[in-house]
Structure formats: structure tokens, C-alpha cells
A and B are shown apart, each in its own frame.
Chain A
Amino acid sequence: MRREEVRPLLDRASDLLPEPDLTDTAWAGGLAIRRRRRRSTIVGLAVVLLVALIAAVVAGLGGNNTGIVPPTTPPSTPPGFIPPAGQIFGVDYWMAPPAGSERFLDRLETPLGDALQLPVSAGDLREDPFDRVAAVVLSHRNGSFTPLLLDPTSRWARVDLQLSAIRSGEPLGPGAISPDGRLVAFPQPGGVAIIDATDTTDASTRRVALPAEDIRSVAWLENSDGLLVSGPGVAYRVLIGAFTVGAEQVAPVAASNDPFDVAAPYRLDGTGNQVALMRYEANRTWTVDSNPRLPVGTWAGLTFTQGAIAARMFIADQLPQVPTVVSKPQVVAAISRQLTLPSRLLVLGETPAATPTPGRDTPDRIREPGCCFMLGWYDEQTALLQVAGWVIAWDLQTGRVRRVTELDVTGVALGPGVRG
């Protein structure tokens, strides 16, 4: 086939086609497309404007939006930090949960369990001694008291020792257990009784006679080789040393009217402008370390020291920051000896009436004076307090308060074994 033969063939194949008239239709189609595009552009712009308007309204209703701006610096507070309620004399204070709410607090796990009560049965300490004591309570029978010790594994042991009541009642103070957790001391009329929980011999219990009859408080020295024993206006240092060979020495120390003032290595003492943090010296006196400003009415319980912080409970006379109706606020003062570590306060106030009644402002619950005092330290940042029928823990770093245990016993002393 020749190339010039192709064209006639194609002409013949297409010569009977109708003549089209596409001009108007094509122009109208172009107009329709243009209008559709313009409409789409307008609708798109309207949608964008609407979204921008909604975003502006939402931002306006949300108020200041600086809250969602990520911080430029990492947080300086630990996780779970609770901001302080305010300041008392320039010291940050937190409000403790009101009385009656302890049961609903988060729990700090300890060998004490959910509720601390006298055990149904307990082994003999001489048969199975402890490495460390977690807690000690007293069993009262026929006018005398028998110590019951709890170890970090929640095991109870009975001590073959009969204790007499002291003038204030039960011969058990919050400072009974030595810092190393091995020794336990009990104030006794005219002396002090000491138990070595790690000793299986008969020498595991010992009584040390003192010149004064009215002995009410014991507080251990920092290295657990001696203790301070005190009563109203009298105080003695009892050196234990080689406890089993009877090397104790009794020497008088500067006394105070309140037996619980006497504590080592630091004690918080004084009222009004005379509040002082004092350090116990080897010559059996205290020297003033600092004079913190605290609105102290009276002190309650012993001073417990952990690291650079000494803590003691006091009853305040008046606190403008924490108004009360019936009772006086009780405050745990955790006073730091280091400039880099702030002092902190925990205030125990009243529980206001759940349903306020006009003309009646009596609170639902109050905490009586003497109900609350320091029991020791769980760790370097957690103080343990007895608050009425509860032991609670106050985390100084976060300000958070947790329950430790409910007390079904008349008294308890805690030792380092409480950390488990």
C-alpha cells in the first residue's frame, strides 16, 4: 500500500459524519466551570474564616492561654508536689487533712499494717531476736506492762520484762527505740529499763537506777551508745557502752520542766521570741544553733532529727493564717540547719462544720492538745506523726500527707525497722 492511498481510505471512512455545532455548548460549559470554581473558592474562604472565628472565640472563652504554653525550664518541684498553703513568719506551711479524713488518705506501706493492734500471739524475743525493731507497744496486765516488739517483717515478739507505770501513766515514750533499731528503753519510776533486741542471753534486758524517782521520757543519743532520761526538772545521760558488761554511766544534764524537751542531737525549745534550735554537746549541755521564728505556745512531744532537719510539734497561740474557733492550731515545725534546705510547717487545724449554720460556727471535729506529736522519721524526707488515733506520714518535699496505720493500741514508739 502506498502512503498516498491512505488518505482517501480515511476520508471515505469519515465522510458521512454529521456537522457538529459545539460553540455555544463549549462556551456555556466553560462558564459553568468558572462559576463552580468561583463558588468553591468562596465556600473555602468562608470555611477558613469560620474556623478562624471559632478558634478565636474558643481562645477568648478560655481566658489567658499562657497556661498551655510549655515551660522553658524544667519543673523545680518533685512529682506530686502540692503548693504550700502560705507562709508563717516566712516559712512555707501546708495544711494537714482535717480530722476524720485520715481513713481516706493514700497509704504508706509499713510493717505496722493497716491497723496496729496487740497481737493475739507473740514469740519469745530470746528465742528469735530481731535485727532491727520497727515498733514497740505495751501490753497491760495486772497493773504491769509487758513490751511487745515488731520487726520489719511484721513479726511480733514478747519480752520477758515487767514494767511499772510511771506518774504520767504508760511507761512508753516516742523516743523509746534507738537510732540503730537494736535497743529499746522505757522510763521507770527511779530508773530506766533497756532491752537489746539482738541479744539472746539473759543480759538482753537491764534496769539502770537513777537518782530521781519521777522519770517520764527517754531519748537516744545519735550513735545509740547512750540515752537521755528525763523527768520534770531532772535529766540524766545514761551511757550504755558495752551494754552486756554493764558499763553504763549516769550523769546529770541540763534539765527542763518539760521532760520531753530533752532530746539529742538537736532539740527545739523555747516560746515567743526565745524559740531556739539547740545542739547537744559532749559536755552534757545544749548550745543554740539558730533561733527560728515560730509562733510557739507550748511544745508537744520530742524533737526528732533526721539529717539536717529537726522536727517537733507545737501548739500555736494564735495563727492569723489558720483561724480556729474552739481549739488552737497544732503545727509540726521541720526546721532545717542548712540554708539550701528550706524549713517547712504542717498545720493541723479544725474540721469546719460540713453544713454551716447561721449563728453557729462550732467545728465538726477538733484535735485536742496533746493528741499529736512526732513519732520519728520514715526516711530523710518523710516525718511520722501520731495524730489522735492515727499514724500519718508527711512528705516534706511534696507536702503530701499519707496515712500509715490506725492505732488500736494506747501508745506506740517507732524505730528504723518501720522502713521494712
Chain B
Amino acid sequence: MRDTVDPEFASYVDARQGRWLRTAYLVYGELERAEEQLLHAFTRLSLRWGKVDDPDVFVQRLLYQPALSRWARVRPFEGEDEPVKLALASLTPAQRTVLVLLYFEELTEYEVSDVLSMSQPSVHGHVQTAVGRLGAALGSGDWRDAYRRDQQ
């Protein structure tokens, strides 16, 4: 491992750090925690830079799986008064993570299940519930109606 930053690593991180910081912020509901988790993931990637088959999946697993850990949870969006953030805070960590990865990170359900080591039906169930609860929290009607419209 070279003492100075590998240029390829630098360009890789530069290209993704902004987007992943926002994703992590929505998942964890706390900027400091999101930045800490992202730095941890990039640091681990630097140790295996050039040896990892899919760096994106490697980083995403390190970045998002801790959000599901029962022992590392924080109160999301504490002190915020924005309705969207309050609505996100009303979701469970699994619902919020699945929702963000599907609609913000724009992964497929299959990719989400791979990143979170979760079954695909579980991902599907979490996102249905998350969309409904988010809509209800924001006053957009019953989530089942919205989901049915989506399916049509």
C-alpha cells in the first residue's frame, strides 16, 4: 500500500462520496454518524483497493448494514421539524433503509437484498409499508391506495 493516495482510489471516492453521504444521512438520520460510517467504509476499501471485485457493493454493505444493527441505532433526525424528515423518522430502520436505497440510491429490490443480506420478499414488504407510512405521515391518504395505483 503506497503512502500517498492512489489516484484511482481518489477519483473513485471523489465521484461517490457526495451521493453516498446524502444516502447515509437519510438512512441514519444524523450527519455526523453518516460521515463517520462513510469514512469507515472508504478506509476499509483503501486496505483492499485493487483486490475487491465490486467496490460499490463492498462500500454499500459496510455503509448500510450497520443501520439495521439493533445495537447501533440512534434517534434519527432529532431536533428537526421538516415534515419529510419527521416522516422518515417515523419509519423503522429497516423500512427507512430499504426506502432510501430503492428510491434515492435507485437500486433494484434484488440489489437491496444483496447489500443488506436480506431476503427479497422482506425488502418488498418493507418498501410497501414504508411508502404507505410515509404517505400517511405526510397526509397523502392510505398507502394501500397509492400502492394499488402504482401497480396499475
Is chain B a partner of chain A in the same complex?
yes
Closest to B130 in A: A6
With both chains docked as a complex, state the minimum distance between the C-beta of B85 and any C-beta of chain A, in angstroms.
5
Contact B14 A23 (CB under 8 A): yes
Contact B22 A17 (CB under 8 A): yes
Closest to A25 in B: B39
Q: Is B115 an interface residue (CB 8 A)?
A: no
Q: How many of A's residues come within 8 Å of B, CB to CB? A: 28
Closest to B3 in A: A31
The residue that B25 contacts in the complex, of A14, A25, A34, with Cβ under 8 A, is A14
Q: How far is the CA of A11 from the CA of B88 in the complex (A)?
A: 13
Q: With A29-B43, A31-B3 known to touch, is A20 a contact of B38 (CB < 8 Å)?
A: yes
- Over the window 1-12 of chain B, the binary record of Cβ atoms lying under 8 Å from chain A Cβ atoms (1 yes, 0 no) is 101111001100
Contact B35 A24 (CB under 8 A): no
Q: Is B116 an interface residue (CB 8 A)?
A: no
With both chains docked as a complex, state the minimum distance between the C-beta of A114 and any C-beta of chain B, in angstroms.
75
Segment of B50-58, B67-75, B117-125, B131-139 engaged in the interface with chain A: B131-139
Q: Is B81 an interface residue (CB 8 A)?
A: no
Say what secondary structure dominates the interface of chain A: helix
Closest to B143 in A: A1
- Over the window 40-82 of chain B, the binary record of Cβ atoms lying under 8 Å from chain A Cβ atoms (1 yes, 0 no) is 0011111101000000000000000000000000000000001
Contact B46 A1 (CB under 8 A): no
Contact B82 A13 (CB under 8 A): yes
Contact B39 A7 (CB under 8 A): no
Contact B104 A22 (CB under 8 A): no
Closest to A29 in B: B43
Beta-carbon contacts under 8 Å, A375-395 to B:
none
Q: Which of B22, B138, B140 has the most CB of A within 10 A?
A: B22
Contact B43 A23 (CB under 8 A): no
12 contacts between A and B (CB under 8 A): A1-B131, A1-B134, A3-B103, A9-B138, A10-B100, A10-B103, A13-B85, A14-B25, A23-B9, A23-B17, A25-B43, A27-B5
**B residues lining the A interface (CB < 8 Å):** 1, 3-6, 9-10, 13-14, 17-18, 21-23, 25-26, 31, 35, 38-39, 42-47, 49, 82, 84-85, 88, 99-100, 103-104, 131-132, 134-135, 138, 140-141, 143, 146, 149-150
